[in-house]
Amino acid sequence: SQQGEEDPQALSIQEGENATMNCSYKTSINNLQWYRQNSGRGLVHLILIRSNEREKHSGRLRVTLDTSKKSSSLLITASRAADTASYFCATDAYNNNDMRFGAGTRLTVKP
Amino acid sequence: KAGVTQTPRYLIKTRGQQVTLSCSPISGHRSVSWYQQTPGQGLQFLFEYFSETQRNKGNFPGRFSGRQFSNSRSEMNVSTLELGDSALYLCASSFAGELFFGEGSRLTVL
Count the residues in chain B.
110
Distance CA A104, CA A32 (A): 14
CB-CB neighbors (< 8 A) of B102 in chain A? 42
- DSSP class of B83: G
Nearest to B101 by CA among A101, A83, A3, A79: A101
Q: How far is B105 from chain A (nearest CA, A)?
A: 10
Cβ-Cβ contacts under 8 Å between A and B: the total is 63
Across the interface, of B56, B88, B101, the residue whose CB is closest to A40 is B88
pLDDT digits (tens, 9 = 90+) for A8-37: 999 999 999 999 999 999 888 888 999 999
Q: Show residues of chain B in contact with A95, CB under 8 Å.
A: 56
Question: Cβ of A78: how many Cβ atoms within 10 Å?
Answer: 11
- Name the minimum distance, in Å, from the CA of B62 to any CA of chain A: 16
Predicted local confidence at residue A95, as pLDDT = 63
Q: Count helices and strands (H / E) in chain A.
A: 0, 11
The confidence score (pLDDT) of residue A18 equals 98
**Average of per-residue pLDDT across B60-67:** 97
Among all residues of chain A, which has the CA nearest to that of B40?
Answer: A103
Arithmetic mean of pLDDT, A1-14:
81
* CB proximity B5 to A under 8 Å: no
Band (pLDDT 50/70/90 cuts) for residue A2 is: low
Distances (CA, A) of A97 to A108, B5, B74, B81: 31, 20, 16, 27
Beta bridge partners of A12: A108
Give pLDDT tens digits for B13-59.
Answer: 999 999 999 999 999 999 999 999 998 888 999 999 999 999 989 99
Q: What is the pLDDT of residues A73-103, one digit of tens each?
A: 999 999 999 999 999 999 986 565 678 898 8
